[in-house]
Structure formats: structure tokens, C-alpha cells
Structure 1
Amino acid sequence: MSGAHWLFGDQLGPHFVTGRNAPVVMIEARSVFRRRRFHRAKAHLVLSAMRHRAAELGNRVVYVRAETYREGLREAVGDGAVTVRHPTSHAAVRLVRSLPRVEVLPARGFLLSHEAFRAWADEHGGGRLRQEDFYRWMRRDLDLLMDGDEPAGGRWNHDHANREPPPKGAGTLDAPAPYRPREDAVDEEVRADLDRWEREDGIRFVGRDGPRRFPATRREALAALRRFVRHRLAGFGPYEDAMLADDPVMSHSLLSSSLNLGLLDPAECLAAAERAWRDGRAPVNSVEGYVRQIAGWREYVWQLYWYFGDDYRTGNALRHRAPLPEWFGELDADAVTARCLGTVLAQVRDTGWTHHIPRLMVLGNFALQRGWDPREVTGWFHRSFVDGYDWVMLPNVTGMSQYADGGRMTTKPYTAGGAYIHRMSDLCGDCAYRPSDRTGQRACPYTTGYWSFAHRHRALLAGNQRTARAVRGLDRLGDVDEVLHTDRRWDAGPP
């Protein structure tokens, strides 16, 4: 089989296929699941999406189930030549470039070429790049959400209207329900295969594999996009940073896994959101918040992954080396007393997803305060989330969440005490700990962790104008030693 095009499992949309009738190769490599202990729902989603895509391609595709990609490609094409779109990880790029007669084509599924980003980054100093500068440049360059030369609504950034705490006593946001797919025979087959792998092949997973919650086909992904834009986008902005125990989805789009599988193209998501604003169906703050997530943050993370290179993963500016505890790695939410952490960990265990603020300010914040090894934390996020890929999590976790790059990507470490979680959620209600307490039996793990982190890294924080206030606050505490003693309680087990 010569002249075939190879599709990876995150290149499943029509924009990844070359030619109307060119033959296609797809490879299910079990070694991927042996190397990492993925969330079961993630494994299910990826395999379901691949097998659905193969069914759509029909006779055009040779679908191989093999132990490794090398073995699968050899079985599919022999010595034939193949093309492949630029893969989404450094490891996959090394693989395809090591294979004979494989031509790597430019990447798809993103808004900007690597060359264009590199030119922009080099022009802006290269060492310390800021997402806000990149985002504004992207908006101008793509003529995205613009009124002539000015940003829509007169502001580049509508965060002032998009950081509302949840309505008090609401319980849920009462937003229209998100799109939910229906499982079919392909999902049934996938679930049976995963059961067999665990039973017979020694492949292990974490988390639960309930009914599939995320699109596995292009048709499902488009339906999910339409439902979000028509019924949920208008309410997205104000509470996008808020958290509710009984409403983990709120008005979020739930489209990240579809984008990262290649089922949706970011340009079509942005166009749909902008049309909603221009047609008067969604306010500018909600649309701008959504546009920022895709054209700003998602694109920025993708580009930084390649710009910084594979050595970026070895960064550990804070010298954090504590191992990831077993209860966290196993998603053992029932072992956790702290309501916020237990609730969010249960969401990950049950669905493989939670939105960006629980990821950053509950999960990542706790890991940062405890001084866990950033490489282990990054790997955990990669394995545990349905939308997690190396390119996604390396900058997001290593750079932003764990500050392991020393500020190449963000201007400060993202850590906060219990007061932030209390203000932005209902997760502190009925908790065994009090967000205001930093000592004693009811001391909040996040509050003690915040002050312990400030004490441990006071020299770094004092030299940063965005964090110097934490050091001044630390100096005003009269019980620092007692706070540090209280904080060490969480090193022995889950909070």
C-alpha cells in the first residue's frame, strides 16, 4: 500500500485527510496504554473516536491493531511511502522522523504556523513571552472580534465582567444542559476490549468509565458546538471562573476534547461564537471569554510547547521534588476530608474532566503548595483528563500551574489560600476545615499551604511585584511557626 496517509488518534477531523480518495492508515497501538496508566474514560473516548472514524472512512482505511506504531505501520504499508500531518508531541515527531519513507506535512487543527509564531516570539524577546500580547496580536491578525481597528466592546479583555463568584445559595447555575452523546455498538465493543485488556493483558487504568460524555464523531462534535453557541454561550462569561459542587459543568463548552481529537477546527468554533455576538445572541463579555480560551490560551500553549522545546519538561525552578502520593494518583476522593479537593478529585475520577479553575486553583494549587515534583504532576494531568495531551499539559502544568519554568510563561506562581476558594465557590460549606483558620484542628489545608509556600519561597516572591504582598503578609503573622507545624500535617496523608 503506497501513497497512504497516516492518521493519528488525535487527527480525526476531515481537515486532516489529504485528497478525496487517498488511502488512509490508522493504528491502534496498545503500547500507548502500557506506558501510561490512563483514565479509563479517556482510553474509551480515544478508541471510540478512532473506530468511529475508521467506520466513516470505510474501504479507504486500513485499520491495524498492533502492539506498537512501528509494527502497525509495517503491517499496513510494508515498504510503501506514507504522509502524516505533524504530530502533537515531541515523542511522536521523533517516531515519524525515524521511520523510512514517511513525509511529515504541516500541522492542522491550529490557527498559526510554527514559523509565524516563532517570528512573533523572537520579535518579542523570546525569553519571557506574555499571553496577553500574543492574544491581542492574534485578534488583529485574524480580524477576530474586532470593530475596525478596535476590539469589540471597546476592550481587549472583559475579565472584569467574567470573574463573578457563583450566585449565593444557587446550588447550580441553572444553565441549559450540554449536549450528551448516545453510546452505540462501537462503544460497547471498546468497553469489552478495555475489560479484556485489564483482565488478560495487564493494562491498568484509573478512574471510572461511565456512559461516554464527550463527542467521538465529527457529527456529535458539531452538534455539541451548535448547542453550546445557541443555548449556553450567552451565560458563559460571568461565571467562567466560579465553582459549584453540584454543577461542575456550569456553562462551559465541554468542547476541549473534541478540539484536541481534531473533530473540530478552532477556526469554526471562533466563527460560530463571533456570529452569535454580531447577531445579538450572546454578550460581548461571554464571547470574548470564549475567544480568549481558544485564540488566546489554547493556541498560545500549543505554540509554546514547540517554541520552548522538549527540554522544557525538565524545568524545576522551585526545586520541588516530593513524590505524588498514592491517594492522589489513584483518584481516591473518598480518602480526602477537605471538601473542595475531595469534590474536584471525585469529578476527575468519575468523568475525566473538570473545568480550568478547579484544575488550576484546587488541584494544581495543592500540588504546588505541597512541593510535588512538577514532572509527576504534569504526567498525572496528562493521564487523568480526557482532553489531556503532552502539548496541552506541559505548558499548562509545568509552566503555569507549577511555575517550574521560573516565569518564562507566567508572571507569578498561581497559589492562593482558602479565602479564594471560599469566595469563588460553594465548596467550603459543610467542610471540616475553615478557610479563615491557619492553625488548629480546623485549619484549612490551602490556607496553611499558602503561608508555608510563601515562607519557603519568600526570596522569590519578595522580588516579584505581583507576589511581594504575600511576603509582607507573612511578616505580619505572629504565629508562623505554628502555621508551618500545622501545614506539615498534610505531608503525612490526604487533607
Structure 2
Amino acid sequence: MAPRPHWLFGDQLGPHFLDPRHGGPDDKAPVIMIEARSVLRRRRFHRAKAHLVLSAMRHRAAELGDRVTYVRAETYAEGLEKVRGRRASSPLTVCHPTSRRALAFVSGLDGVEVLPAKGFLVSHDDFAEWAGRNKGKGSGRSQSPSLRLEGFYHWVRERHDLLMDGDDPAGGRWNLDHDNREPPPRGQDTLDVRGPWRPSEDDIDDEVRRDLDRWERDGDVSFVGRDGPRRFPATRREARSALRHFVAHRLAGFGRHEDAMLAADPVLSHSLLSVPLNLGLLDPAECVEPAEEAYRSGDAPLNSVEGFVRQIAGWREYVWHLYWHFGEDYRHRNALRHTTPLPDWFLDLDADAVTANCLSTVLAQVRDTGWTHHIPRLMVLGSRALQDGWDPAAVTDWFHRCFVDGYDWVMLPNVVGMSQYADGGMMTTKPYTSGGAYINKMSDFCAPCAYRPDHRTGEEACPYTAGYWFFLHRHRTRLAANHRTARAVKGLDRLKDLRELLDTTAQRGDAPP
């Protein structure tokens, strides 16, 4: 009997998705790939993201050669019809997709067997077992202390023997965050570290860019942001090169300045590996294992390696599983009742319309590259949305569309739970926002800015400093009951200019800060 064809989605591009030794399809199974134009019409994606995904898909198809049937269609359903023809229920397999929408679609098709998810260290069943064992433990009201990241991260490290010395964590501590929060070096515009790996474009990239140009001219699709040159891996070989380059040249310096921000050096020592990981070009195990080897051989300090392992084996796995664990209703959570629409300048990535240097700089980074690291995402972009009360569903969609590593499973917990606190504490213990003092400490953004981080009112009032106090006042009752924010709320009573601050902030409306 001939093996059933196997359908590859555009974020399932690595060899592990076709490996029969780990629950994949038969090694001789023909492969189906569908490039559906409707995906690009559904949302106004970043142009660089559209280019990257299509380039990666077409590169994978070229690698598979005669084994693959590559279909360009309006929708996935139309593409399947082209492949299956009159045999509309002919059997095929597909690995568990990464979004609820895609899973519902493939699960509703006749003759389709959904294989287990790949590209993660922890299976759905194993996470369910862990979550079930911890259910009801701890204390708290709306929070779920038993399902917090730290406990999950310890469990993953123990289960996979990552950075462990016997039963204990390497170096005697699980968490080295305290060592990884240094501000950028004084007087330096960039870190003294070798630059990130960059790819060289080829004929496939040129073809994709011509297609995107034509579709835009014809009015079929619309994008935001700028495209070119490609900055991230689109093939397995490129992804492996990027990983080796990071471990050899950048991992050692990653930890100390993990949370720092520099206008002229947006990448710092970050790996940029979330992009090939989320395309399925890399498997998380092959990322954390050489990082640990670098520590064991003395080539990278423990704080850098632990910080990197935490990102991949901790946070990435945690977000993936919470996406499925919390259920579909999670995307509609809005505990703070924020409903303000996103302003046009933000939707259009119009960095030039913004006066606040931190926000203008970060928005320009997104416009030009489709990427920033986690601190600008959380403490500049996300904090602005939280302080101004923007609709969390719209903020989630914006991050999904505008970041090259953004997918539904990535952004829903990150934005609803971490960034916008819209779940009321199911994922994190407090809202993550701050005044200008934090940004001033952790970046070089404030010195050339028209606003001053220590001014709450007046023409030089920092939008983040004023916005922070406005946010605390707006949600005073809720935040006063949270032990992690209660002290900050009490600070409102010491502000003699609170009324002026509230009036000024309210009058700004959705004007660019």
C-alpha cells in the first residue's frame, strides 16, 4: 500500500516534521504544501514577514524536489481540492497545527489524520499531566501560582536534564535573572560583540518579492513595514548556520545585557533564533544542547547560558502550552476593560509621527525589520498600549501581524497575559509597565528625547512617567489589592500634581506621544 501523503504547513519546515522515527509520516510519503493567498488577505501583515514565510516555504519545496506537490491557491480548501481531485476524502496526514483555527480546519476534513505536535520539548499529554499534578496548589485569588513559569521551568530542566548537576541546578541556582539585568555600558552606542549572522538572498527571494510587488499593485493584498534585505534564515542550512554563529560568537555576552536597549544596536547579543524556531527550521533541543556544551567547556558563562535556556526551554514552551491550556475563550479576556482602538500612527508603524524617542526608535525598528527583542516589546510597545487602555485583542493582532516571529500561539499568551494583563493574573502576578525612569536606566533613548523621564507634568512630561501614574489611578482599586502593586498605588497619595497629571494625560487622547 502506498504511504499516505503528508501536508506541511508553512511553520513546519524542518526535517523533524517528516521524521518517521519520532511520530512523523512514512519516510517515502509524498508531501503536500499549499501557499494560500487568503492568509495574506486576512490580515495586513508586515511585508518582511510575508516575504520570509513565502521564501521559506518555496525554499523547502525546492529542497524536497519531486517528493512535494506545491500548490498555489486562494485558500487551503481550494489547494487540497487541487491535490485530491475527485477523491475529496483521500487519506493524508498532517502534524498538529500551531493555531486553533488551523487545528479546527484540519480536524474537520475527511480522511485527515492529525499527528502529534512537533517542534517543542514537552508534549501536550506531558504538560497536561504536570498541570494536573499542580492544580489547586498554592494560594491566591485570580492567580494560579501552581502553573507559574518558574515551577514549569524547573520541571522541564529536570525532565530533560538541562543544566543539571545531578538533582541540583548547575551552579546551585535555578534562576540567574539577577545577573542578567544590567543596563547598557555607559558611553557605548553598541555592544562590543560580533554582529548577528545574516543570510544572502537568492533567486527564490527575488521571485517572492516580485510576486508581492505584483499582488500589491493589483490591490490583492496590503502590507505594513519595509521589506529587504532578508535578515532571518529561510532554510534549514541557514538556520543551522545562525545557531552555530550565535553559540560561537554571541552567547557568552548574551546574559548581562539581555534586558538592555540601545538605539544603534537593537539586536545586542540576542540570538534572533525565535524566527527559525517558529518556522520549524530548528528544534528547541538542538538549540539548548550546544548552549549547555558551551557552558560545560568554559566557552560561555552560566548566566548567559541559563538566560538562553530559560527563553527556549522555559518561556517558549510555557507560552505554547498555555495557549492550548487556557482555551479559546482566553483571547476574549479583558479584565481591565480596555477598549480604546489602536491609533492610526501605531497601526501604520509611523515612527516619524512620534516625538517620544524611545517609542519612535522602537516603532522604527519594527517598521524596518519586523523585530525587536523582548524588553522593547514589553516595556515600550506593550507598556504604551497598557497605559493608554488599548483593546487587548487589537494589540494581540498587531503583534501577530507586525513581527516576523509572531504567530497566534506566540502572541496570544504573551500579549493577553504578560503584556496587557488582560487575563487579570492567570499568567503573571502583576501588570508590566513603568515610568520613564526604567527606560532611562535600561537604554540610551532618553538623553536626546524632547521629554524628560522625571517630569510628570508640563511640556517636557514623559508620556511613560505620566502614563504610569494615570494607569495606577485608573485601576487603583484592583491594583491596591495586589501585593506586588499595592505599594506603588500608595504613592498616588503623595503626588501633589496628580490632578494636573490626569487632566494632561486625558487631553492627549490618541495623539502620538
User: Scaled by the length of structure 1, what TM-score is found?
Assistant: 0.99
What SS does the corresponding residue of 2:32 show, helix, strand or coil? strand
Q: 57, 67, 72: which is aligned to 1:60?
A: 67
Instruction: Give me the whole-angstrom Cα distance separating, in 2, the residues matched to 1:257 and 1:489.
Output: 39
Residues 267-312 of structure 1 deviation map (CA, whole Å, 9 limit, x = unaligned): 0001010010011100000000000000110000000000001110
Q: 483, 492, 508: which is aligned to 1:465?
A: 483
Aligned to 2:6: 5
Write out aligned runs for 1:314-353 (5 A). 314-353=332-371
Aligned to 1:16: 17
Instruction: Give me the whole-angstrom Cα distance separating, in 2, the residues matched to 1:96 and 1:338.
Output: 45
Residues 197-253 of structure 1 deviation map (CA, whole Å, 9 limit, x = unaligned): 111142000000010000000000000000000000000000000000000000000
What SS does the corresponding residue of 2:71 show, helix, strand or coil? strand
Contact 2:343 2:510 in 1 (8 A): no
* 2:94 paired with 1:76: no
Contact 1:445 1:490 in 2 (8 A): no
* 2:109 paired with 1:99: yes
Aligned to 1:362: 380
Write out aligned runs for 1:67-466 (5 A). 67-78=74-85, 79=87, 80-125=90-135, 128=144, 129-466=147-484
What SS does the corresponding residue of 2:460 show, helix, strand or coil? coil
User: Scaled by the length of structure 2, what TM-score is found?
Assistant: 0.95
Percent sequence identity over aligned pairs: 72
Instruction: Give me the whole-angstrom Cα distance separating, in 2, the residues matched to 1:390 and 1:492.
Output: 26
Contact 1:417 1:449 in 2 (8 A): yes
What SS does the corresponding residue of 1:281 show, helix, strand or coil? coil
Instruction: Give me the whole-angstrom Cα distance separating, in 1, the residues matched to 2:5 and 2:215.
Output: 29
Instruction: Give me the whole-angstrom Cα distance separating, in 1, the residues matched to 2:493 and 2:95.
Output: 54
* 2:36 paired with 1:36: no
Contact 1:27 1:66 in 2 (8 A): yes
- The structural deviation recorded for 1:475 is 1.2
Instruction: Give me the whole-angstrom Cα distance separating, in 2, the residues matched to 1:490 and 1:282.
Output: 47
- The structural deviation recorded for 1:174 is 2.1
Instruction: Give me the whole-angstrom Cα distance separating, in 1, the residues matched to 2:126 and 2:151.
Output: 15
Contact 2:13 2:280 in 1 (8 A): yes
- The structural deviation recorded for 1:123 is 1.9
- Shift in CA distance, 410/196, structure 1 to aligned 2, threshold 3 Å: same
Equivalent residue letter for 1:280 = G
Instruction: Give me the whole-angstrom Cα distance separating, in 2, the residues matched to 1:475 and 1:175.
Output: 46
Instruction: Give me the whole-angstrom Cα distance separating, in 2, the residues matched to 1:490 and 1:354.
Output: 27
- The structural deviation recorded for 1:81 is 1.1
Instruction: Give me the whole-angstrom Cα distance separating, in 2, the residues matched to 1:140 and 1:99.
Output: 39
What SS does the corresponding residue of 1:190 show, helix, strand or coil? helix
Contact 2:3 2:29 in 1 (8 A): no
Contact 1:2 1:81 in 2 (8 A): no
- The structural deviation recorded for 1:466 is 0.7
Contact 2:473 2:489 in 1 (8 A): yes
Instruction: Give me the whole-angstrom Cα distance separating, in 2, the residues matched to 1:19 and 1:382.
Output: 33
Equivalent residue letter for 2:314 = G
Equivalent residue letter for 1:407 = G
Residues 108-158 of structure 1 deviation map (CA, whole Å, 9 limit, x = unaligned): 000111111111112222661200111011111111100111111111000
Equivalent residue letter for 1:253 = S
Contact 1:2 1:77 in 2 (8 A): no
Equivalent residue letter for 1:169 = G
Instruction: Give me the whole-angstrom Cα distance separating, in 2, the residues matched to 1:287 and 1:313.
Output: 33
What SS does the corresponding residue of 1:203 show, helix, strand or coil? coil
Q: 54, 60, 63: which is aligned to 1:47?
A: 54
Equivalent residue letter for 2:328 = D
Contact 2:179 2:303 in 1 (8 A): yes
Instruction: Give me the whole-angstrom Cα distance separating, in 2, the residues matched to 1:198 and 1:446.
Output: 37
Instruction: Give me the whole-angstrom Cα distance separating, in 2, the residues matched to 1:298 and 1:69.
Output: 28
Equivalent residue letter for 2:109 = L
What SS does the corresponding residue of 2:218 show, helix, strand or coil? helix
Instruction: Give me the whole-angstrom Cα distance separating, in 1, the residues matched to 2:38 and 2:204.
Output: 21
Residues 345-391 of structure 1 deviation map (CA, whole Å, 9 limit, x = unaligned): 00000000000000000000000000000000000000000000000
Runs of 4+ in structure 1 deviating by more than 4 angstroms, as ranges, are none
Instruction: Give me the whole-angstrom Cα distance separating, in 1, the residues matched to 2:352 and 2:249.
Output: 35
Query: Which shows bigger deviation, 219-228 or 143-152?
Result: 143-152
What SS does the corresponding residue of 1:165 show, helix, strand or coil? coil
Equivalent residue letter for 1:171 = D
Equivalent residue letter for 1:225 = L
- The structural deviation recorded for 1:2 is 7.0
RMSD: 1.0
